[in-house]
Amino acid sequence: MQSSSVSSSASPRPLTDYGWDDGFAESFASFAGQGYVPGRVVRVDRGRVDAVVPDGDGVRTVLADTALVATGDPMRVPCTGDWAVIDLGEVGAGRDGAVRALLPRRTAFVRSTSSKRSEGQVLAANVDHAVVAVSLAVELDLGRIERFVSLAWESGAQPLVVLTKTDLVDPAGLAHLVADTETAAPGVQVLAVSSAAGEGLDVLAAVVAGGTSVLLGQSGAGKSTLANALLGEDVQDVRAARDRDGKGRHTTTTRDLLVLPGGGVLIDTPGLRGVGMWDADTGLARAFSDVEELAADCRFHDCAHATEPGCAVLSAVDSGTLPQRRLDSYRKLLRENERIVAKTDARLRAQIRRDWKQKQALGRHMVERKRGARG
């Protein structure tokens, strides 16, 4: 029996403000004749989701159970931003329906969890812009920005770095911080904003208008303050950051999808303490496009940019064209990503083991040659 308050025959067009388009309509077509309705997940909490569904000429939020799509795979559980197939006939105690399936994701921002099983976690789905909020109330961590940007490129979304709390920095210092960030994020727009002073918010609002954007960053980065500024009202709870380290408490505890008055939707997320790499080869290549372009001129196609002769990357470091810090960060993230992939890919794990053994053998051979030369 269908819910009397929301008709399964209601037009999905009211969902347009939430990102519904012809592409998602085509994906949903096979479910339309089964009495189901499309819905966008706006919040996830303990095996249930809040989803907006069409209701006559408008929309309403329903609470739907996710037990029918529980697979045990954390990469396939519903997350904020997903488009779901909602069965409003599956009503029960404390719920309005059930999620029958998820429509194919166009993009997904994924990080590795702290689990020893090296599982991936989808933080947001069907996102067009990944907005990385970075507070200038603390020392700028370029390595963390590179990590976020790599994962953002890998997700399929367009990265955007927003330096917040610029009112705490003098103009000359701000110019240097913006320049350093642009060097760490080639091809990525960097915006400097101050919610307190109202500076830069109009540009940010124009960028995120239309489509779906997700706000990412550490606690205290000013994400919820940014969200409120973009929404034009205090929807998200905001608390002051600690003076000693600039970090805030987790005022946002769930990933919430909110409709922006200028068009588009915004997903606000809790502060992220750790952002582990997750199978981000393509994202790393784009985040470090400057290193990749230099590497194309190395003498050896498999150059490790360590001690090889004719290494264009090392030459760039020696000349000051490429910062040593940037190369070190590139190596670190590559190693981390390789370890994560190896844990889930037996063939790659075997290849890494073979390469390691070959390097060991080569090292022993070089030691023996040196001993022979001295003899």
Give the tens place of pLDDT for each residue, 167-225.
999 999 999 999 999 999 999 999 999 988 889 999 999 999 989 999 999 988 989 89
Among candidate residues 85, 97, 102, 82, the one with its CA nearest the CA of residue 31: 85
**pLDDT of 33 strictly over 90:** no
Going by the DSSP 8-state scheme, the letter that residue 304 receives in this structure is -
Percent of the chain scoring above 70 in pLDDT: 83
- 118 confidence band (pLDDT: 50, 70, 90): low
pLDDT score recorded for residue 75? 87
Selected residue with higher pLDDT from 372 and 146: 146
Handedness of CA 224, 226, 231, 234 (dihedral sign): positive
Torsion of CA 170, 176, 179, 185, to 10 degrees: -90
State pTM to two decimals.
0.83
Q: Which fold has domain 280-362?
A: Ribonucleotide Reductase Protein R1; domain 1 (1.10.40)
Residues 6+ positions from 219 with CB-CB distance below 8 Å: 241, 247, 248, 249, 250, 251, 270, 271, 273
Residues 6+ positions from 17 with CB-CB distance below 8 Å: 59, 259, 263, 265
pLDDT digits (tens, 9 = 90+) for 329-370: 999 999 999 888 887 766 555 666 666 667 666 656 665 665
Among candidate residues 135, 268, 265, the one with its CA nearest the CA of residue 193: 135
pLDDT score recorded for residue 155? 95
Sorted by where each begins, the domain ranges of the chain are: 13-104, 109-241+255-272, 280-362
pLDDT score recorded for residue 237? 55
Q: Which amino acids are annotated as binding site, given as ranges?
A: 164-167, 217-225, 298, 303, 305, 311
* Average pLDDT for 227-240: 74
Question: What whole-number distance in Å separates Cα of residue 76 and Cα of residue 228?
Answer: 30
* Average pLDDT for 287-315: 94
Q: Where are the beta strands (DSSP E) in 169-277?
A: 189-192, 212-216, 256-259, 265-268
Q: Which amino acids are annotated as binding site for Zn(2+), given as ranges?
A: 298, 303, 305, 311
Among candidate residues 256, 198, 204, 252, the one with its CA nearest the CA of residue 224: 252
- 3-state helix, strand, coil split of the chain in percent (to 5) is 35, 20, 40
Query: Cβ(258)–Cβ(149) under 8 Å?
Result: no
Q: Which tokens go with 111?
A: 């990080």
Question: What's the CATH class of domain 13-104?
Answer: mainly beta
The fourth-level CATH superfamily of domain 109-241+255-272 is: P-loop containing nucleotide triphosphate hydrolases (3.40.50.300)
* Residue 300 one-letter amino acid: F
Q: Which amino acids are annotated as binding site for GTP, given as ranges?
A: 164-167, 217-225
pLDDT digits (tens, 9 = 90+) for 124-178: 999 999 999 999 999 999 999 999 999 999 999 999 999 999 999 999 999 999 9
* Average pLDDT for 288-306: 94
